[in-house]
Amino acid sequence: MSRQFEFLTRFAMALACMVLPLSSAMAHKSSDSYLTVRASGDQVNVQWDIALRDIQFAIGLDDNGDDQITWGELQRRQSELQAWAASRLSVQRGGRCTLKEQALQVDEHTDGSYAVLALSGSCPRSQGPLTIQYSLLFDLDAQHRGLLKLDLDGLVHSSVLGPQNSVMQFSDNASLGAQFLRYLQEGMWHIWIGFDHILFLLALLLPAVLVRQGAGLRGAASFRQAGLGVLWVVTAFTLAHSITLSLAALELISLPSRAVESAIAASVVLAAANNLHPVVQARWAMAFFFGLIHGFGFASVLAELGLPAGSLALSLVSFNLGVELGQLAIVAVFLPLAFVLRHTPFYQLGVLRAGSLAALVVALVWFVERAFDLSVFWWA
């Protein structure tokens, strides 16, 4: 009799569980660990969130048996925990990377508290594919998964590590397209946030829609005339900074960055001053000459990003292309507006003269700051 009741209970539970894996106590989900790996060249940093419940099940944490895990209890098991975890993870790049334990912290996820392990170290090689081998808890919990987020030299991968796929290899150059796009974006982004480059370009472009007439200025007669002036300046600037960007990125020439940054500020000062008291008529020549210096500025940004050895040329070209695209966007906004307003006193006085004066003042401040390593404005 009782056997039959037991069957019915199970049968009932079958239907209930299939539809609603339900709980009666606390937030429930299957076991996951959150593994974040950042690899840049031969350096690797790991953040690994492992549920305290899982650690309790695997190695035990509740020393005093009061059904609670305290920070003290977790700390006491730190070395055991780290040894256990480290034996179940390996990161390889040209061989196994050494991973040294850093601080132990804690965090919360939807199903409770997690120990946060920080590991860092270096790999035998700074390029090539990276392999992750993961076997945390698989021997104890077949439904455990490692949720991996990997940043490999700027390329981000997400994966789920499970018993069936516990080893995963990630290629650092599998997606040249993604790399191309990344450097393109960086190039565009840099010109957009690089106020000194924008200001220099604008200072040279402001007079392009005007022509000299006796002692004064008047608006250019045609869009073609104005457009040609802009084209000369932009082409010369592009050509020049492409040359020095490439030379610097390929490490054929290198200049001290403070000198470069100061010279960039000085170039804005001179370009703006030339609008107020014209000395140089051939602005394209100024664009070319100072463009050479701006190229070194771009190169230092690229150096910070890091150039992948395997696809150096591609990254260089796409970064440069990004810079040009960003520049074109500025011109595309500037030229029609300036052309429409070119006859107005607002443009000739307010924009050209007052604007150049303002640019001159700002650039002068930059120059002083950069050349003498001062901080004049807190925001600068």
**Between 55 and 323, CB nearer to other proteins:** 55
**Between 12 and 178, CB nearer to other proteins:** 12
Smallest gap from residue 66 Cβ to other proteins (A): 8
Closest to 158 in 3D by CA, of 271, 34, 274, 23 = 34
Smallest gap from residue 111 Cβ to other proteins (A): 7
| Residue from 41, 42, 45, 52 in contact with other proteins (CB under 8 A) | 52
Smallest gap from residue 46 Cβ to other proteins (A): 13
Q: With binding defined as CB under 8 A, does residue 32 bind other proteins?
A: yes
**Between 65 and 345, CB nearer to other proteins:** 65
Rounded distance, CA 338 to CA 230, Å?
Answer: 11
Q: For residues 23 and 112, is the Cβ–Cβ distance under 8 A?
A: no
Rounded distance, CA 223 to CA 42, Å?
Answer: 54
Rounded distance, CA 113 to CA 108, Å?
Answer: 4
- What is the CA 198 to chain-centroid distance, rounded? 21
Q: With binding defined as CB under 8 A, does residue 164 bind other proteins?
A: no
CA trace torsion 225, 227, 233, 247 (10° rounding): -140
Smallest gap from residue 23 Cβ to other proteins (A): 3
Rounded distance, CA 333 to CA 349, Å?
Answer: 20
**Between 11 and 372, CB nearer to other proteins:** 11
**Between 70 and 281, CB nearer to other proteins:** 70
N residues, the chain: 380
**Between 158 and 375, CB nearer to other proteins:** 158
Smallest gap from residue 182 Cβ to other proteins (A): 24
Residue window 75-114: x/- pattern of binding to other proteins, with contact defined by CB under 8 A: x---------------------------x-xxxxxxxxx-
Smallest gap from residue 103 Cβ to other proteins (A): 7
Rounded distance, CA 317 to CA 46, Å?
Answer: 32
**Between 138 and 237, CB nearer to other proteins:** 138
| Residue 201 identity | L
The encoded tokens of residue 361 equal 């003042």
Residue window 107-136: x/- pattern of binding to other proteins, with contact defined by CB under 8 A: xxxxxxx--x--------------------
| Residue from 93, 144, 197, 370 in contact with other proteins (CB under 8 A) | 144
Q: With binding defined as CB under 8 A, does residue 279 bind other proteins?
A: no
Q: With binding defined as CB under 8 A, does residue 56 bind other proteins?
A: yes
Residue appearing with tokens 């090689």: 125
Sheet holding 130-134, edge to edge: 89-92, 130-134, 167-170
Q: With binding defined as CB under 8 A, does residue 215 bind other proteins?
A: no
**Between 20 and 215, CB nearer to other proteins:** 20
Q: How many CB atoms lie within 10 A of CB 93?
A: 23
Angle at 362 between CA 267 and CA 203, to 5 degrees: 50
Range in contact with other proteins (rule: CB under 8 A) among 27-35, 180-188, 192-200, 283-291: 27-35
**Between 19 and 215, CB nearer to other proteins:** 19
Rounded distance, CA 110 to CA 108, Å?
Answer: 7
DSSP secondary structure of 329-372? HHHHHHHHHHHHHTTSHIIIIIIIIIHHHHHHHHHHHHHHHHHH
Q: With binding defined as CB under 8 A, does residue 342 bind other proteins?
A: no
DSSP code of 210? E
> Can you give the C-alpha Rg of the chain in angstroms?
31
**Between 60 and 95, CB nearer to other proteins:** 60
The site for other proteins (CB under 8 A) is made up of 2, 4-5, 7-32, 47, 49, 52-54, 56-57, 62, 65-72, 74-75, 103, 105-113, 116, 138-145, 147, 160
